[in-house]
Structure 1
Amino acid sequence: MDIDALRSFLAFVETGSFTRAAKQVHRTQSAISMQMKKLEQDLNKKLFQKQGRLLNLSHDGQVFARYAKQLVQLHDETVKQMNAAQPSTLLRLGCPDDYAESVLPKLIKLLHKCWPNLDLQITCTPSNRVKIMIDSGHLDLGIITRSSDTEEGYTLESSQGVWTYNPLFNAHRIEPLPIAIFQRDCRFHQAATDGLHKQNRAFKIIACSGSASAQRGIVRSGVAIGAMAKLSIGDLTPLDCQSLPALPIVDIVLIRANSSQNPVTDITCLELCQSYISINNASEKKPSFIGTY
C-alpha cells in the first residue's frame, strides 16, 4: 500500500470529504479519488458508502482507519530513526579462545570508545587461523600470540606460561603424567612436550585442543594437568612444581589487515595498545593461590 494514499485516506477520515482532504494533502480531488480506488483494490474491500448525498466510511473503512493510522505513524517513526542514526562501522575481530575472557573484553571497551556506533563481529579461533583470516581479508583486526621468531603486531600484554591442575585430584602424581595441551603450533605445546622429553619423563597427551575452555574443562575434571598462559587459567590453580619443565612467557599482540577498507589504521592499532597497557598498569593486581606439592 502506498503511504501517500494512506495519508489521503486519513485526511478524508479527519475532514469527511474528498474536497477538503485534497486541500489538506495538497492534491487534486481526482487524484484523491484514484488513490482511494487503488486502496480498495489492494484490500479487496469497500471503504466508503453513500448515504444520500454524503460519502461516509463503510464498516470496513472504519476498521481500516485504525490500522492506517498505525501504519503511517510507524512509517514516520522509522524514517525519523533511520535519518537520525549515525552510520555504523563494521569491524571484524578475531581472537583465540585463550583470551576471550581476559584480553578481549578490555579491548572491546576501547574499540567502542573509538567508534560509538560500532558493528563488531567477533570470530573465536586459534592464533594461526586468525592470521590466515587476516591475510585473506576475512578479518580486519586480530588478537594473537606472537610467534617467538617474529616481531609482528602491536603488544597488548605478556603472560607467563604456567602448569595448572585441580588440587582435589591427583593427576599431577600419575605416571605417565597426563597432560592437556593446545595444538602443535602453540608455544606451550612445544615447551611442555620438548621439556618432558628432555627430562626423560613419561607423559601421555590426554587431549590437544585449540580451545582454552576445553583445556580448562579437562583439567578441572581431574583427568589431566594443563599448560597455558596465566591470564587464561580462569578458576584453575597454578601448579608450582620444580620438576616440571619451565613454560615460556608469551606476547599477546594486535595485528591488522592491510586493506583500504579496514577502519583500523596502524596509528589506531598503536593507540589502542597504548590505552590497553595504561588500563592494565592502573588496574589492581589480584593475588592468586599457588598450589604446591
Structure 2
Amino acid sequence: MDIDALRSFLAFAETGSFTRAAKQINRTQSAFSAQMRKLEAELCVNLFEKEGRNLVLSEAGLALRTHAEQLVAMHNHALRQVKRYEGKRPLRLGCPEDYNDIILPRVIRELSQADPTCSIQVFNEPSITLRAWLDEGKIDAAILTRAPDSEEGHWLASDQGVWIASETFTLDDTQPVPLALFQSDCKYHAAAINGLTKRGTPYRLLACCNTASAQRALVREGMAIGAMGRLSVTDDLRILDHMPALPAVDIVLVCGVQPHPLLDPTSIERLIQGTANKTERD
C-alpha cells in the first residue's frame, strides 16, 4: 500500500469529507477520489459507504484505519531517524594504542553524547604517525602526547611516566637490566635510557615496541621491565620504585586541517571539561 494513499485515507477519517480531506492534503477533490478508488482496487474492498447523505468508513475502512495509523506513524518515525544522518560523515579519530584503555573511552563518550548519530572510526598509531596523518587530511582529529615545548592541541589529561615489571620479576645486579620500551621517538624511551646511563646501570634493550600491549606482554612474562605512562599500566603489573625519574606528559586532542562538524568550539569545550572531570575523579 502506498504511504501517501494511507495518509490521504486518514485525512478522510479525520475530516469525514472528501472535500475537506483533499484540502487538508493540498490535492484536488478529483485527484483525492482517484487515489481512494485506486486504494480500494488494490485491497479489493469498499472502504466507504453511504449513511444517509454522508459518506462514512465501511467495516473494512474502519479496520484499515487502525493499521493505517500504525503504518504512517512507523513511516514517520523511520523518516525522522534516517533524516538525522543527513549530511553526516564519520569522525576519523587517531589515538596511540597506549591511550586506548583510559583516555579513548572518555573522549568517545563525550563525543557520542554530543551527537549520538555520528559514527567514529578509530586509528591506533604512534603520535608521530598521527601528526603526519593530520597534516595530510587522513584523519579529522587525534589524541596525542603533546610535543615538547609546544602548546599544541586541547589539553585532556596529564600522565606520569613509571617503571613497570611483572609481579614476580626481580632485578639481578649481576646482569644488565632487560628493557622493553616504546620506539625511540617516545619520551619514556629516551628518559629510561638516559636515567640508567647516568646511574651507571648496565642495560640490555630487549625490544622496542610501537604498542603498549606488546610492551606489557613482554613485561608480564617477566622477560623485561618497561617504562610507560601510569594511565597505561594494567592491574597485573606492578610499578617499580627507586628507579630513575621519568617525565610527565600532557595528552591533548589535536584537530585536523579540515574541521569536522562534531568538533566545533562548543563541542570541544564540553569534551575537554567532561574528560578533565573524569580524570580528577579517578
| TM-score over 0.5 (shorter chain) | yes
- Give the partner amino acid of 1:255: V
Residue 68 of structure 2 corresponds to which residue in structure 1? Answer: 68
The alignment yields a C-alpha RMSD, in angstroms, of: 4.9
Judging changes above 3 Å, is the alpha-carbon distance between structure 1 residues 13 and 106 closer, same or farther for their aligned structure 2 residues?
Answer: closer
Is 1:24 paired with 2:21?
yes
Residue 247 of structure 2 corresponds to which residue in structure 1? Answer: 248
Question: 1-side partners of 2:56 and 2:277: how far apart?
Answer: 72
Question: 2-side partners of 1:142 and 1:50: how far apart?
Answer: 63
Judging changes above 3 Å, is the alpha-carbon distance between structure 1 residues 12 and 250 closer, same or farther for their aligned structure 2 residues?
Answer: closer
Judging changes above 3 Å, is the alpha-carbon distance between structure 1 residues 81 and 146 closer, same or farther for their aligned structure 2 residues?
Answer: closer
Residue 170 of structure 1 corresponds to which residue in structure 2? Answer: 169
Question: 2-side partners of 1:112 and 1:23: how far apart?
Answer: 45
Judging changes above 3 Å, is the alpha-carbon distance between structure 1 residues 136 and 201 closer, same or farther for their aligned structure 2 residues?
Answer: same
Helix, strand or coil for the counterpart of 1:153?
coil
- Give the partner amino acid of 2:202: R
Judging changes above 3 Å, is the alpha-carbon distance between structure 1 residues 153 and 105 closer, same or farther for their aligned structure 2 residues?
Answer: same
Contact 1:182 1:209 (C-alpha < 8 Å) held by counterparts: yes
Shift, 1:225, TM fit: 2.2
Residue 238 of structure 2 corresponds to which residue in structure 1? Answer: 237
Question: 2-side partners of 1:69 and 1:271: how far apart?
Answer: 41
Residue 143 of structure 2 corresponds to which residue in structure 1? Answer: 143
Identical aligned pairs, as a percentage?
Answer: 38
- Give the partner amino acid of 2:258: S
Residue 160 of structure 2 corresponds to which residue in structure 1? Answer: 160
Judging changes above 3 Å, is the alpha-carbon distance between structure 1 residues 118 and 95 closer, same or farther for their aligned structure 2 residues?
Answer: farther
Gaps in structure 1 of 5+ consecutive residues: 286-293
Question: 1-side partners of 2:2 and 2:171: how far apart?
Answer: 73
Say which is worse superposed, 180-189 or 169-178, in terms of deviation.
169-178
Count of aligned pairs = 271
Question: 1-side partners of 2:56 and 2:265: how far apart?
Answer: 70
- Higher relative contact order, structure no. (Cα contacts within 8 Å, ≥ 6 residues apart): 2
Deviations along 1:4-40, one digit per CA (max 9) or x if unpaired, are: 211234467789xxx9445434355542443245447
Question: 2-side partners of 1:256 and 1:82: how far apart?
Answer: 28
Gaps in structure 2 of 5+ consecutive residues: 50-54
Contact 1:180 1:224 (C-alpha < 8 Å) held by counterparts: yes
Residue 46 of structure 1 corresponds to which residue in structure 2? Answer: 44
TM-score by length of 1: 0.65
Contact 2:110 2:270 (C-alpha < 8 Å) held by counterparts: no
1:98-247 aligned at under 5 Å gives the runs 98-107=98-107, 115=114, 119=118, 121=120, 123-125=122-124, 126-148=126-148, 150-154=149-153, 155-167=155-167, 169-170=168-169, 172-173=171-172, 175=175, 177-193=177-193, 199=200, 201-206=202-207, 208-235=208-235, 236-242=237-243, 246-247=245-246
Judging changes above 3 Å, is the alpha-carbon distance between structure 1 residues 118 and 153 closer, same or farther for their aligned structure 2 residues?
Answer: farther
Residue 52 of structure 2 corresponds to which residue in structure 1? Answer: none
- Give the partner amino acid of 2:21: Q
Deviations along 1:235-291, one digit per CA (max 9) or x if unpaired, are: 23111244xx54333332332223355664689868976x4797489x367xxxxxx
Shift, 1:71, TM fit: 1.5
Question: 1-side partners of 2:252 and 2:182: how far apart?
Answer: 18
Helix, strand or coil for the counterpart of 1:135?
helix
Judging changes above 3 Å, is the alpha-carbon distance between structure 1 residues 176 and 58 closer, same or farther for their aligned structure 2 residues?
Answer: farther
